[in-house]
Amino acid sequence: MKSLLASTALVCIAAPALALDCEGLTPEALGLSEVTFTEVAAVPAGEDSRAPQCRIRARTAERVGADGKDYALSFELALPDDWNGDFVHQFNGGNDGEVKPATGALKAGTGDSSPLAQGYAVVSSDAGHDGTANPDMGLAGGAAFGFDFEARQMYGYKAVEILQPLARKMVEAYYEKPVEHAYGIGCSNGGRHAMVAAARMPGAFDGLLVAAPGFNLPRAAVQHALDVQALTPITGDLRTSFSKEDLALVAQGIRASCDALDGLEDGLVMDTAACQSAFDLTALQCAEGQNSDCLSGAQVSALQTIHAGPKGAEGQQLYSDWSWDTGIEGGNWRFWKVESTVPPWEKMPIIGVMGAASLAQVFSVPPTEVEGAPQALADFLMQFDIAAQAGAIDATSETFPESAMDVMSPPGADDPELAAFRDAGGKIIVTHGVADPVFSVNDTARWYAALDANNGDNAEAFARFYPVPGMNHCSGGPGTDAFDLLTPLVAWVEEDIAPGAVTASARADNAELPEALQGASRPLCPAPTVARYQGGNPKSANSFSCE
């Protein structure tokens, strides 16, 4: 491996050199100012990269925050030896704060081969803050950047606004050729980044692949409080509110009510909309004297409450309702809402750790510092007065002149048209697991329906939405979650071939699948169509059509 460390930022601008080589590469050679290279390395194939590349690790936008702490936008740019002429901006998830390896891959949605391995130049960043900079705050430290308004802005939208043109310039200078097409790819908060880019930077990306988008992230954080408040009283401990067997019982009830609605009883409920009225949770409630193979009245009430979504003081919907789906028995659903497997978290679920810290310190004005111990974070959500305190996500102050919703959500998300993105020729594919425990697929479905209505019932000319039955957050769950939406997106952008049904397969290592689905494939259908069985091999996607 060849590497170069540069400890000082270069502020002069130089013309790009010819015949650039990774060895000895400097910001000057790429015509950069106010960028510090922390590492430049020629990385061989197979070394955490999946492709031979020139890897640049760097930072820009360095500053001292209002909280007195050092901030920078750190990033990694992977420049493959065999470049295909295109560029991918990899949008990361969670609270960001970490530069993930720049491969461009999603857990579900980009197929078996990463964009980097396919020849795309790829950039990844930490969105302008270091999530490990506040270890003294324990598990709340990753959300401590929320006390600095500019760090919030970077996390919300400015990091992409700064990095996209910068990284593109670096790619073009290195290869001495213009980028032919630019793509953005992300799941969860990364999906939110992509939707924000479509609204705020309509000409920056030719294609966007958006998975499980948290485009109303502060509102979804209010849902975390509702979840904890509804689930904890069942046993007095959030982590024991539902056993794995309890959630499997709910999934079995959903299958019994809805599995045949798509024409085939195979363990997978494809007709989500019809299932919502066909399934009756109360049928699973224990009868008098029954104490097994049923749910308690408290469990039934709690699930009804969290599926209805949080309400304001006047009964108004503060976030979204949720769909009943067999993926409620998925390990990822449990990990987020009920119980994790992480000892340092005391096995608290993600909503009770990261969710609590984010609501308190990033999504509220003013922010509230919370204790970083697992139980203390869960207690914060337990004590959060939803009706009285949820307005903090829309509040502003002299210190925080933009609300958390304004910072995080795409402008116009409640009534989307994306006219500028559409008119610039952009294409967007959105996918979302129907059993996502973090961001409601119903919220995304309503967004797409509004987008369609605002485009004369013709949003499909530039946008497609693919719900994934059985899938949890970004991947996992009892569904066919191995699929490639990047290839049809590229064909749409570069060849004007509009996407239709996409084949999704069962992963061989997915132990959560019903036996009937082992080795099976199913079509992912663009909404509002549904995969319906037409006869033939029940394990083949070819036996279904999107209707």
Q: Which domain holds residue 107?
A: 2-179
In this predicted structure, what is the pLDDT of residue 518? 85
List the one residue out of 275, 296, 271 whose CA is nearest residue 284.
Answer: 296
174 token code pair: 């290195």
Report the C-alpha gap between 98 and 127 in whole angstroms. 8
Compute the Cα dihedral for 245, 266, 307, 466 and give only its sign.
positive
Residues 157 and 14 in one domain: yes
Report the C-alpha gap between 539 and 203 in whole angstroms. 42
Report the C-alpha gap between 454 and 412 in whole angstroms. 12
Q: Residue 415: which residues within 8 A CB-CB, separation 6 or more?
A: 450, 454
Last residue of a domain, one of 353, 377, 407: 407
The reply to whether 30 falls in a domain is yes
Residues 52 and 172 in one domain: yes
* CA 98 to each of CA 19, 161, 175, 221, 502: distance values in angstroms, whole numbers, following the listed order: 32, 18, 27, 21, 32
Report the C-alpha gap between 28 and 19 in whole angstroms. 14
Residues 171 and 39 in one domain: yes
Residues 45 and 97 in one domain: yes
Give 10-residue mean pLDDT values along the chain (547 residues).
Answer: 35 40 94 96 81 96 95 98 97 97 95 95 98 96 98 98 98 97 98 98 98 98 98 98 98 98 95 98 96 96 98 96 98 98 97 97 98 97 97 98 98 98 98 98 98 98 98 96 97 98 93 86 97 97 97
Residues 9 and 96 in one domain: yes
Q: Please report how many Cα atoms fall inside a 13 Å half-sphere around the Cα of residue 24, on the Cβ side.
A: 4
The reply to whether 318 falls in a domain is yes
Q: Please report how many Cα atoms fall inside a 13 Å half-sphere around the Cα of residue 321, on the Cβ side.
A: 9
In this predicted structure, what is the pLDDT of residue 18? 33
Residues 369 and 225 in one domain: yes
The pTM of this model reads: 0.94
Backbone angles phi, psi at 163, to 5 degrees: -75, -35
Into how many domains does the chain fold? 2
Catalytic machinery residues: 188, 436, 473
Kindly give the pairing relationship between strand 531-533 and strand 544-546. Answer: antiparallel
